[in-house]
Structure 1
Amino acid sequence: MLDSRHFIKRISIFVSIISIYLLVYLPVITHNYGFADDYSVTFTAHHHILSLLYMVVSSGRPVYALFNFVFSLTSDIADFRWVRLASVLGIATLAQIIATFFIEETDLPRSLSISAALLIGLMPAFQVYASWAVCAGYPWAAAIAVFSFCVLHRNQYGGWQVSLTSFILLTLAMMIYQPAAMMYWVIAAAVWVANDRPLPSCNRIVRTVSIMMAALLADFISEKILTHFVFHHYYTLSRTALTTNFMQKISWFISSPMRDSLNFISITASRTVSVIFGAFIFIGFCLFIFRSNNSRIMKAMLSFSLLPMAYLPNLIVDENWASYRTQSALSSLLILYAAVALFAWLRQFRMLRLAPAIALVAILSSTGVARNNVITEFVNPQTKELKLVSRYLKMHLDNLNGAKQIYIVPSHWQESLAPVVRYDEFGMPSSADQWVPKGMVWLLLKSEHEPTASKLSTAKVGPLSAAPKGSTVIDLSQALGSR
C-alpha cells in the first residue's frame, strides 16, 4: 500500500512538471523554425557527415556526434520541432529525478524541494536547450549524470562494480556535453550540505570526486585518440586546450558565469541583482550550516568548493565564453543554495508556513518570464527571420535558377529581431553567423522543393566587398532590412 502511494505521488509530481514545462515550452513545438547551428549541422549532415563527426568529436563529444545523425534525416524545417520536443521531455525527466532526490535527501520542506527542481528546468540554460534543436541531447546528458550519482549514492557500500557503473554513466554524459554532466555536483550538494546529517565518510567523498576526475580524463583521452587515429587529423580547439592562467580564469568565473547565474531567470545579467541574491544566499546558507550539529566547517568548505566544480569543464580550458548553455549545472546549484538559504531565513524568523506560498510565487513568476524569453528571444524572431529570408529568396528565384556561382552575405547581430541579444543564443539572428547562411538558404529552398538547392553545395559565404565577379549574391542583411 505504501509503495503504491509512493508511486502515485511520483506520478503526480511528474504530471505537474511536464504540464508546467509544456505550458512554457509549447511554442518551440508548435512553431516551425530553426536556429543557427540547426541549419549548418543539417546541411553538413546531408553533404559532409564525416567532417561534422570530426568537428564534434574534436570538441570531446563523441556520443553527441552520433546524435547528429538525426539531422541527416531532416528534410524540412518543420522536422526540428520533434527534436525540440525530445529536449523538453529530457528537461522534464531531469526535473523529476532531481525533485525525488531533493525530497528524500535534503531538509527542505516538500514544497521547496519540488519548486527548486521545477525552477531548475526554467533557467536560461534550459530555455536554450528547449529552443535550440542541436542542444536536444544536453538535458539528457544532465539526467544521465544525475543518475550516475544516484547509482553511487544508493549503493554506497557496493564494490568496484558500482563505481564502474557510475563512471561509465558519467563518462557517457560527459561525451554528450561536458557542462551538462556537471549536474552530478548538484545532487552531491543535496546529499552533502543541504541537510543536517553527518557528512559521508572521507573515503566515499574521495570516491565520488575520483569518479568525476576519471570521467573527465577518459573524455579528454578519447578526444585525442579518436581525432588522431580515426580521423587521422588533429588540431587543438580553444575549448579543449587546457588553460595555464588560473587567476585570470577565477576572475572571469566571478565576473561572467557567476553574475549570469545569480540573476537566475533573468537574462539581463545585472551586477546589482547578482550582489543582492549572492548576499541573500551567503547569509542564509551560513544560518543553515552553523545551526547544523554536524561537520559545520567541512560543509561550509564543500558548499564553496562545489561552485567552481559545477563549472569545471569551462574553467580548465583556454576558451572564455560564458554562454548560458554552459551554465546549467552552476545555475542549478545556485537554485538549490537559494532554496536552502530561504529555508534558513524562514526558520530563523519562524515563518516556515510561508514556504508553499513563496514557492508558488517563484514558480508562477519564473514560468511567465521563461515563456516570454522563449517566445520573444527565439520563436518570434527566428520565425520572422525565416519568413523574411524566404520572401527574399522568392523575389530572386529567377536569378538563382540561372546562377553559375552563388555568394551569400551574412547579416549582422545588430540586425536582431529580438529585444535583447545575449551571447550567441538569446536574440541572435541565425543568418549572422558565418557558417549558418549556406545551410539556412539550402534548407529553405529544399523545403520548397526548389532544384536550385543543389547549387548551394558550392556556394561561398563572406562580406559583400569580397563577392566574386559574376556571382549571384544573396544578401541576408538586405533580407532582414526589408522588414
Structure 2
Amino acid sequence: MKRPTPRALVVPGTVALLLLLPWLIYWSAVIHRYGLRDDYAILREAREEPGKILRVCASQGRPLYGWMLEASAKAAGGIDGLMGLRLLGVAGLGVLAAAVFLLLRREGWRTGSAALLAGFLTVTPSAQVVANWSICWPQAVALMLGLGAFAFARRAMGPPGEDAPVRWPFALAAVGSMATATLIYQVSGLFSAVLLAASLVVHRDVSLKDTARWMLKHLLVMGAGLTLAYVVTQVLFKAGVFPPSPRLTFEKHWVDKTVWALTHVFPNALALSALNEAPVGDMDGYWTMVVLTLTLLGVGVAVEGRRSGPVGVGRWLLALVTLSGAAYSVSFLAGERWPTYRTLNALTGVWAVFFAASLVNLGTVWPKHGPRMATALLTAFVAFSALLAHEQSLELFALPQGRELAVMQEGASLVVPDRKPRVFVLTARQSDSTAPFHYLDEFGSVSVDAEWVAKEMLKALVKERFPRERDVSGLYRFAAGPVAPEPRNYDILIDMRRQRVSAVNPILQKPR
C-alpha cells in the first residue's frame, strides 16, 4: 500500500485545521458562565411555555429558527447549558469554513488563498456574534444551507461561460436549500452570494455577457428560494397556524433606505474585521480599514484591467455591485433599520472575497516574489483578525456578561423563600458596562437595562437554587426600574450599575 505524499495531505490537513480554527479562537470565551439578553427568557420559555418560541419566531418568518431554538434551549436546561448552544455555533463555523475552502478549491482558488479566505469568514464580527451569543447558533446552519444552495446551483448550471442545459434536479435542490435557510434566518441564505463572487473573480476567460447571464441564473435561483420561503410563511399566516408579527413589514422609502444603508451598513462590511465603536469608541482603526479596503479594491480592479482589459474591469465591477446588492437585498426590503452585525455575514463575505482577490491580483505585478508576498500579507491580516476575534469575544461578550450575571447572582443568593422578600433590581445603563465600548445589542452591550431582562435573569438564578420549585417567582416579590425606591420599599436591592466595582478582579464563574 502506497503511503500518501505530503502534497496529497495538504487538502485534508487544511480541512482539519479549518474545522479546529473556531474552537481555538472562541473556546476560552464561550466556556464561561454567562448569558446575553434574550438568553434568559428563552431558557424559561422553553421550559414553562412550550411552543411560544416557535410561535414568536414563526410570526417573524423564521419558523425553523423557532423550532431549532426551542428544542435546543429545552435541552440546555439552565444558564450552564447556554455554553452548549454556543459550542454548537462554534462547531457550525468550523464546518462552514471547511465547506467554503473545498468549494473555493473547486472553483479554482489556490490552496493558500482559499484556506485564508475560508478562515477569515469565521472571525468576522458577524461570525463572532454567532459564536458568542447562544441563541444565534441556528444561523450557522442557515449559512451552511446557503453554501449548499450555491453548490447545487453550480451543479445545475455548470461553470461560467458554459452553455449547458440546466440540470433541474440540482436546480430544485438549490431552491429548496435557499428556502430552508431563509425559514431559519432570512439573510443567512444569501451567503451563497459569497461563493458566487469567489467563482466569478477567478474565471477571467469569460465574456462580460456570459458573466452577466451566469450570474443572473444564480440570482434567479436565490430569488426563487426566497420567494418559496415567503409563500410558505404567508400560507402559515393565512391558515392561522401562526399570527404575523407587526415587525414583518416591507420598506416603503427606498431612496432614504439606500442612503441609510450606504452610510450605516456598508461601512461595517467594508471595515471587515474592524468593529464599529460608535458613538463613544475609537473609530480611527475602523475608518482606516474602510479606506484600506476601498483602496485595495481599486488597485485590484486596476490590475485586473491591465490583465484582462475593459472586460475584466466590467466583470469585477458588475459582480461587486450586483452581489453586494443581492447580499443585502433582504435587509433592504425589510421595514426595520437596525444595522446589526448578525445580518451582515453575506455582505461582509462578498467584500472579503474581493479584498482577498485584489491582494492576490496585486501580487501578480511582481511575478517573482509578488504572489508569496501577497499570501504573506493575507496571512498576517487573517491572523490579526483571528487575534482580534479572540480578544473581543472575551472583552465584549464573556467578561462583561459574566460580571453582570455575578452581580445578579449575589442578589439572588439573598432570597429566603420563607420571608418572601421584596427584591428591587436597579437596572443598568449602557454606560455601566465594563466592556471598553458597546455596539447596539451585540458587542459590549449591557443586558439588564430593561425590566424584563432583569426579571428573567433573576428568575433563572433563583431557579438554580430551588430546582424543585415549579414557579420560583412566588418565592419573592419583584420590581425593577432605573431609579431606586426608598429603602423601606424593598428588602433586597440588586444594583446592576455597580458592575465596575469588581472590574479589576472580575468574578468569573465557569459551569459547575
TM over 0.5: yes
Percent sequence identity is 19
Task: Show the counterpart of 1:33.
Answer: 34
Question: Secondary structure of the residue that 1:143 maps to in structure 2?
Answer: helix
Deviation at 1:378, TM superposition (A): 0.8
Alpha-carbon separation, structure 1, partners of 2:318 and 2:263: 21
Match of 2:374 among 355, 376, 393: 355
Change in CA separation of 1:341 and 1:314 when aligned onto 2, cut-off 3 Å: same
Answer whether contact 1:42 1:439 (CA < 8 A) is retained. Answer: no
Task: Show the counterpart of 1:46.
Answer: 47
Number of residue equivalences: 478
Task: Show the counterpart of 2:432.
Answer: 415
Task: Show the counterpart of 1:372.
Answer: 391
Answer whether contact 2:55 2:242 (CA < 8 A) is retained. Answer: no
Alpha-carbon separation, structure 2, partners of 1:273 and 1:355: 17
Alpha-carbon separation, structure 2, partners of 1:150 and 1:412: 46
Alpha-carbon separation, structure 1, partners of 2:463 and 2:249: 38
* AA at the equivalent of 2:348: S
Answer whether contact 1:83 1:133 (CA < 8 A) is retained. Answer: yes
* AA at the equivalent of 2:64: V
Match of 1:288 among 304, 320, 325: 304
| Aligned ranges 1:422-433 → 2 under 5 Å | 422-433=439-450
| Aligned ranges 1:275-314 → 2 under 5 Å | 275-289=291-305, 291-292=307-308, 296-314=313-331
Task: Show the counterpart of 1:327.
Answer: 344
Q: Which runs of 5+ in 1 are unaligned?
A: none
Alpha-carbon separation, structure 2, partners of 1:235 and 1:16: 42
Match of 2:193 among 172, 185, 201: 185
Alpha-carbon separation, structure 2, partners of 1:471 and 1:215: 55
- 2:338 counterpart of 1:318: no
TM-score (norm 2): 0.85
Task: Show the counterpart of 2:505.
Answer: none
| Aligned ranges 1:6-155 → 2 under 5 Å | 8-68=9-69, 69-106=71-108, 108-155=109-156
Change in CA separation of 1:343 and 1:232 when aligned onto 2, cut-off 3 Å: closer
Deviation at 1:7, TM superposition (A): 7.5
Answer whether contact 1:263 1:274 (CA < 8 A) is retained. Answer: yes
Query: How large is the RMSD of aligned CA atoms in angstroms?
Result: 3.0
Structure 1 range deviating more: 311-320 or 12-21: 12-21
Answer whether contact 2:427 2:451 (CA < 8 A) is retained. Answer: yes
Structure 1 range deviating more: 135-144 or 457-466: 457-466
TM-score (norm 1): 0.90
Deviation at 1:323, TM superposition (A): 0.7
Alpha-carbon separation, structure 2, partners of 1:53 and 1:377: 29
Q: Which runs of 5+ in 2 are unaligned?
A: 158-164, 278-282, 503-512
Answer whether contact 2:450 2:481 (CA < 8 A) is retained. Answer: no
Answer whether contact 1:84 1:132 (CA < 8 A) is retained. Answer: yes
- 2:169 counterpart of 1:169: no
Answer whether contact 1:403 1:471 (CA < 8 A) is retained. Answer: no
Answer whether contact 1:438 1:456 (CA < 8 A) is retained. Answer: no
Deviation at 1:51, TM superposition (A): 2.8
Alpha-carbon separation, structure 1, partners of 2:242 and 2:22: 43
Alpha-carbon separation, structure 2, partners of 1:222 and 1:313: 16
Alpha-carbon separation, structure 1, partners of 2:485 and 2:56: 27
Question: Secondary structure of the residue that 1:278 maps to in structure 2?
Answer: helix
Answer whether contact 2:272 2:348 (CA < 8 A) is retained. Answer: yes
Q: Deviations over 1:65-121 (max 9, x none)?
A: 111221122322111111111111110111111112222314x54322210110111
Answer whether contact 2:153 2:221 (CA < 8 A) is retained. Answer: no
* AA at the equivalent of 2:429: H
Question: Secondary structure of the residue that 2:471 maps to in structure 1?
Answer: helix
Alpha-carbon separation, structure 2, partners of 1:472 and 1:165: 61
Q: Deviations over 1:275-324 (max 9, x none)?
A: 23212213313422552266652442222111121111111111111111
Change in CA separation of 1:455 and 1:82 when aligned onto 2, cut-off 3 Å: closer
